[in-house]
Structure 1
Amino acid sequence: MLRSYSREADHIVPADLATADQQTLVWFDLVNPTPQEDREVGARLGLDIPTRDEMEEIELSARLYQEDGAEFMTVTALTGLDTDDPQKTPVTFILKDQVLVTVRYAEPKPFAAFIARARKANGLHCTSGETVMVGILESIIDRMADVLERLGNEIDAVSREVFRSKVSNVTKKTRDLQSLIEQIGRKGDFLTATRESLVTISRLVAYHAALETPGRKPPKETRQRIKLLQRDAVFLSDHAQFLSGKINFLLDATLGLINLEQNQIIKIFSVAAVVFLPPTLVASIYGMNFDVMPELKWQIGYPLALGLMILSAIMPYLYFKRRGWL
């Protein structure tokens, strides 16, 4: 799908390629483009639109480069941020002169949010392709900030579940901890994807700000917005790293609690074995088939043996209790 937008009173409006003034076109948005649409936009601007396979390459030289007088910059965006399973998708920004081309194969919400803001009368000013790109990146950063805030609150909730659980049943508590490990794993994967996206955005902004293109001198306001974008991306990346550290701590703590629960069960079995070992010894002695065993003929032999077994079981129990092992 090919969507085009032109500039009208410093705002963007949808444009029809057949009738629009070519001088006012500032943005071509290629969404799941067909080869014909790629060729059409490429022919208008004199450049080659990268394929999806080329966009997914991870080498820095394949994501940030100049060609045919245009800047090609690819970031990793995220879709499905309202779920626990976000999907990564490449988005390429191509800047040539005053025109922006975006190539994407998904519908991240920041694009729709940016378009809604830019079309308002008192919304964002979009006088060129560069300002459109900056506005889109700002929307992506805002979305990332909201997601990290939500993830931080969810991680705090998991932390309370780990350290303030009031479940007394060992089996249920272990089952709850295993469920928490799954939640922690999902949060960790989410943060990894978020950090990867933020790193690519930070690199794009740094590359664009450092690039010297003849005849390009963005306004002071745009330069300030680019600097703010770079700072925000670095700050959010650091915050995501902090949350990742907290996730790792919670994972270690949860595994430690599970080990403690398992050790407690093993300790109970060990103490039970030690407690019943002396009675077993007494019973084994009087279960021998020897002819000469004087105790077998005693009137009080049977209750004496039972009492001796009970006493030999109570004494280790009291000893363990006094030592605090139970």
Structure 2
Amino acid sequence: MLRAYIREDNRLAPTDFDPTAVTPIGSAVWYSLIDPTREEDKFVESCLGIDIPTRREMQDIEPSARLYSEAGAEFMTITALIEDESGQVVKSPITFVLRNDQLVTVRYADPKPFRLYERLVSRPTTGEIGGERVMIGLLESFIDRLAQLLENTGDGIDQISREVFGNKSTKPTRKTRDLQSLIEQIGKKGDVLTLARESLVSISRLVSYHQSAGSEDQRAVRERKQELKVLQRDAAALSDHATFLSDKITFLLDATLGLINLEQNQIIKIFSVAAVVFLPPTLVASVYGMNFHIMPELDWPFGYPFALGLMILSALVPFLYFKRSGWL
């Protein structure tokens, strides 16, 4: 789908591309390509005199392939985070093409920052709206979204921390199951943080590249330079915060695994103590189970109670010793 935004007074008016109709979108400020067809790609290429990158080219991880200039245009690709149908956070590349203050965005997903900014630019505003300003506004929306994502992830990590160190379950098996469930949650939070850091790094690289590749006139615009610096500072600050949360995730994972180890050791210790406690009675029973002809105890009137008492006593002595030593 192709949607072009044309400047009307102090706002941008969206216009959907219709190949059968004559539409005045050849000089639009912003061309928004969403899962475009080849016909829509060719139309934008004819309007701006550039080649629109393919989906495979957008997914290339090489920095030289993600940030480059060609035919007087800047081609910049970031890694954006979106939620799939199951609610999981996944990454998707988005390409910004800036030429003569006209912007082209190419994407194969529908991130929430785009929807929010599309509604924003349709409202009247003060000042001139160009392609570069639209790109900066979109990047600001992405950073705001990432900040919200990191805040929610941090709250989730705090909740996991309380569950890890405040587990009141008295049954070892149940407590171990709870900790295993927490490990799965920790893993999901760690994946989200990895994707968020990757997205922030790509945005920071885009801003740095745009600042270095801009023309002298663009560098002279103090307001734009300040906005780009703020973007870069915000991306760096959020990246540092994501690193802090990743370190906390690592600590919680180590702590959870340690607690599971302790629970498993406790179970093994109980079995070991039980084996030692029942070893002396087994020895007594084995002695009086021998089939020798001469065994004086067999003729005693109280031989059977004596053997039972001896077995009970031999079991109580090690049990009380372990209890007094704090092993139970």
Q: Does 1:112 align with 2:125?
A: no
Q: How much does 1:82 deviate?
A: 10
**Closer, same or farther: CA 82–200 of 1 in aligned 2, 3 Å:** farther
Asked whether the equivalents of residues 26 and 47 of structure 2 are also in contact (C-alpha less than 8 Å), the reply is no
Match of 1:238? 240
Identify if the C-alpha distance between structure 1 residues 125 and 166 changes in structure 2 by more than 3 Å, giving closer, same or farther.
Answer: farther
**Alignment partner of 1:38 is 2:45:** no
Aligned in 2, Cα 1:86/1:21: closer, same or farther, shift over 3 Å? closer
More moved, 80-89 vs 91-100: 80-89
Question: Which residue in 1 is equivalent to 2:154?
Answer: 152
User: Contact 2:211 / 2:219 at 8 angstroms: preserved in 1?
Assistant: no
Matches within 5 A, 1:1-326: 1-15=1-15, 18-20=22-24, 22=26, 25-80=28-83, 85-122=88-125, 125=127, 127-213=129-215, 215-217=217-219, 219-326=221-328
In structure 2, runs of 5+ residues without a counterpart are none
1:15 CA displacement: 4.0
> Could you tell me whether the CA contact under 8 Å between 1:6 and 1:12 is conserved in 2?
yes
Q: Percent identity?
A: 61
Letter of the 2:172 partner, please give it. Answer: V
Q: What residue ranges of structure 1 are gaps of 5+ in the alignment?
A: none
Match of 1:78, SS?
Answer: strand
Partners of 2:87 and 2:261 lie apart in 1 by: 27
Which one-letter code corresponds to 1:190 in the other structure? Answer: V
Quote how far apart the aligned CAs of 1:115 are: 1.5
Report the AA paired with residue 11 of structure 2: H
SS state at 1:101 partner: strand
TM-score w.r.t. the length of structure 1 is 0.94
Q: Which amino acid aligns with 1:8?
A: E
Amino acid aligned to 1:182: E
Number of equivalenced pairs: 324
Q: Counterpart amino acid of 2:52?
A: I
Q: Please state how far the C-alpha of 1:10 moved relative to its aligned partner.
A: 3.8
Deviates more, 1:182-191 or 1:207-216: 207-216
Q: CA contact under 8 A between 2:94 and 2:106: conserved in structure 1?
A: yes
What is the rounded CA distance, in whole Å, between the counterparts of 2:122 and 2:233 in structure 1? Answer: 27
User: Secondary structure, in 3 states, of the residue corresponding to 1:222?
Assistant: helix
1:41, CA displacement in angstroms? 0.6
Give how far 1:206 is off: 1.1
Q: Report SS of the residue matched to 1:102.
A: strand
1:126–1:87 distance in 2 versus 1, CA, 3 Å: farther
Q: CA deviation at 1:2?
A: 0.8
Counterparts in 2 of 1:130 and 1:283: CA distance versus 1, 3 Å: same
Alpha carbons 1:7, 1:126 under 8 Å: kept: no
Change (3 A) 1:126 1:313: farther
Residue type at the aligned position of 2:13: V
